[in-house]
Amino acid sequence: MTKDEVALLDFAVQWAPYDGGDEHILPEFGLVPTDFYHRLRCLLDAQPKIDAGTRRRLKSLCTRKLGYPTVVQQKSTSPNRGR
């Protein structure tokens, strides 16, 4: 990981328990929070050495912050199925 990636990850780990520390992202990284969470998400996907629990927690934070819908798998109960 680059020095910038380490700083981004360290910041995210530090602030995750406090809902991300959005007000500190712009002065610290020069990024708006949306860009920060996009970069964090890409970093989490690209770095297999990140602890699984940390990865899961931070991906959940990114999902909330970016407004991605939570994926819920449901069985189809359509009454027209098979007709």
pTM of the model: 0.79
pLDDT tens digits, 6-55:
999 999 999 999 999 999 999 999 999 999 999 999 999 999 899 999 99
Q: What does the longest C-alpha to C-alpha distance in the chain come to?
A: 60
Q: Please check whether residue 40 is in contact with residue 2, taking contact to mean a CB–CB distance below 8 angstroms.
A: no
Res 68: pLDDT: 76
Reduce the DSSP state of residue 31 to 3 states and report it.
coil
Rounded to an integer, what is the distance from CA 71 to the centroid of its chain? 14
What token pair was written down for 79? 């009454």
Reduce the DSSP state of residue 8 to 3 states and report it.
helix
